[in-house]
Structure 1
Amino acid sequence: MDLFTFKIKNAVWQYVLGIFAVVAGFISLFSDIKGLVPLFIGGYLLIQNGVEVNFSNNTYRSIKSIFGLKLGKWEALPDIDYISVFKTTEVTTVWARTASANISKGVFKVNLFYNTNQKIEAYITEDMTDAFEKATLMSSKLHIDILDATTRDPNWL
């Protein structure tokens, strides 16, 4: 596997609303040009962001994906110093008419660090085992160490 692709999963409501808007927009186009509005809104809701790393060409790109089509400019992969796996909290704000609520969940992030403090966010998951599997896969391809920063005392693997 020389190509590593990660796409952030959209929420279920984004898929449902996006597909509904695309279908409604497409049907509306037969009668009026205003059908482009829901068509574009639906397309926007269905876009997934992510990262793709090509280990054989030593390149990477930030991608935007819709309906399997991945867009993004390939760049040279910098000289990666190490891979970090750490736990953090991801907060989502949900708005209603007069109130808002913050929903937080614990996630594990896999980052590729280079030039001391710059990073490429390569993977996000809620499962620690999955995060370490992906970090180990990338570590074996890049021949670099993994920093386990999921606890208060980080240690090298």
Structure 2
Amino acid sequence: MILSYKTERLPLNFFMLGVTLLITGVALIISDVYPGVVAIVIAIPFLFTHSGLLIDAKNKGYKKYTGIFGLRLGSWTDLSKATHLQIIHTRETKGMAVLSIARNETNKVYKLLLMFPHQRILLISNSQQKVEAVAKEIAEALSLELKHAKS
């Protein structure tokens, strides 16, 4: 049984670049300027690239991948020595500055960690409800204990 989760897309500014290139390419093709096809081809990765996580419960492996059009690039890693899953929460601050205008945004983010004896791997980072639902599903499939960090 393979569990599949999409974790994120490219940041918004790259997605908007893709949209801009696509619109520009279409406008150039309509204007009989055929190099607009190049702009459309360049826009495709910006619009359709995403990342995700595959967990193979039968073979005890996981794969973090980058995907585009169903092609999932990444390598499988062994999970047989995993000890447990742990949910933690942190505060993450994202900042953006344009010219003299700066903006910071702080959010509470929940993270699902896969714990090994000498290593921990971040599987998913999202809202509390999403992380807890995914954690329960993964813990059940891999027969691992699910722990919550103390606040």
With normalisation by structure 1, the TM-score equals: 0.74
Structure 2 runs not aligned, ≥5 long: none
Q: Distance in 2 between matches of 1:43 and 1:9?
A: 11
Structure 1 runs not aligned, ≥5 long: 153-157
2:34 aligned residue: 31
Q: Distance in 2 between matches of 1:26 and 1:63?
A: 30
Query: What is the 5 A alignment of 1:1-157?
Result: 2-10=2-10, 14-25=14-25, 28=28, 31-32=34-35, 36=38, 39-40=41-42, 43-44=45-46, 46-116=48-118, 118-126=119-127, 128-149=128-149, 151-152=150-151
Quote the offset at 1:38 in angstroms. 6.9
Q: Is the 8 A contact 1:108 1:131 kept in 2?
A: yes
Q: Distance in 1 between matches of 2:69 and 2:100?
A: 35
Quote the offset at 1:9 in angstroms. 4.3
Q: Distance in 1 between matches of 2:83 and 2:49?
A: 31
Question: Which letter does structure 1 place at the counterpart of 2:120?
Answer: K
Quote the offset at 1:52 in angstroms. 1.8
Q: Is the 8 A contact 1:26 1:39 kept in 2?
A: no
Q: Distance in 2 between matches of 1:52 and 1:42?
A: 23
Quote the offset at 1:119 in angstroms. 2.0
1:155 aligned residue: none
Do the aligned partners of residues 67 and 14 (structure 1) sit closer, same or farther apart at CA in structure 2, a change above 3 Å counting?
A: farther
Q: Distance in 2 between matches of 1:80 and 1:125?
A: 22
With normalisation by structure 2, the TM-score equals: 0.76
Q: Distance in 2 between matches of 1:26 and 1:37?
A: 8
- Count of residues in correspondence between the two structures: 148
Secondary structure of 1:52's match? strand
Question: Which letter does structure 2 place at the counterpart of 1:8?
Answer: E
Q: Distance in 2 between matches of 1:90 and 1:63?
A: 23
Quote the offset at 1:83 in angstroms. 0.3
Quote the offset at 1:112 in angstroms. 0.5
Quote the offset at 1:81 in angstroms. 0.9
Question: Which letter does structure 2 place at the counterpart of 1:88?
Answer: T
